Amino acid sequence: MEIWINPACSKCRSAVSLLDAEGAEYTVRRYLEDVPTEDEIRDVLDRLGLEPWDITRTQEAVAKELGLKEWPREAGSRDRWVTALAGHPELIQRPIITADDGTAVVGRTDEAVRDALSR
């Protein structure tokens, strides 16, 4: 199991605390420092069953600078979104937990973190 976190994020700290409390074995990836490649982002999206715009933090300053809210949300624009996430990792929703069964969850709630633990 791996968890992508920003240590400054309260949701990330909460998820890590819950994983620790449950005795889970996991690897921490500080994704702002160890930036995921476009292929890694595509893999996580496939594992999540989501599109890149579904995990994009559109309220971030860089999202506004890029005009992301205006970008098409369709298959033909998927690569553009993935490129933006890889180029600006602060846009990636957090935390993301990749479960041992090959799936992933966005662990913003205790329920989502527990879901990842049960896989």
Distance (Å, whole) CA 94 – CA 57: 9
Distance (Å, whole) CA 3 – CA 7: 11
- Is residue 9 part of the annotated active site? The answer reads yes
Furthest-apart CA pair in the chain: how many Å? 43
CB 97 within 8 A of CB 105: yes
**Of these residues, 3, 5, 6, 9, which one is catalytic?**
9
Sequence-distant (6+) residues with CB within 8 A of 99 are: 1, 47, 105, 116, 119
Q: Which residues are catalytic?
A: 9
